[in-house]
Structure 1
């Protein structure tokens, strides 16, 4: 499954970033600016490398949800439309986490 999008807000960039995602037989292929390539079904390590590059806060269980989604797609349970919807739900969850971080002078402001 190709041409999926993961749109997440970055406080560092003060804008929404769009990661391009493809489902592969072994995980996901992620593409965004400088960090691109294949990662595990749970997003290890390139999903997190992209988050960390932009200091994006994300929920601890993000990888569990992403891996479950990958399994559903891999087994043919979800079509492209449902997969895109679920990916954006995950992106919205990350955005909520990112936007709810405290703003501390000298640390992140």
Structure 2
């Protein structure tokens, strides 16, 4: 049951990050009428990988409903696995960037 709750939390976190960054991009481009710059590609890429991570978590959610997880025989979709790993790595790099920025500040 704990794994199922963790999976739901991961799903909610991935979609929350995606929606938050989408809202930030919307505010910059539409409300403040800024031009699209190259530096905006990073948040946009994180949004894409976050959405793919959300799909990955939804696809694998059914495997965590049982108390004892038996060998799950399912087709492992490599694009979703890779997107999920890239999303996690990009969040790690983003956190590292913020830590370095705050230590210099």
Q: TM-score, normalised by structure 1?
A: 0.35
Q: TM-score, normalised by structure 2?
A: 0.36
Q: Which has the higher contact order (CA 8 A, sep 6+)?
A: 2
Higher strand fraction: Structure 1 or Structure 2? 1
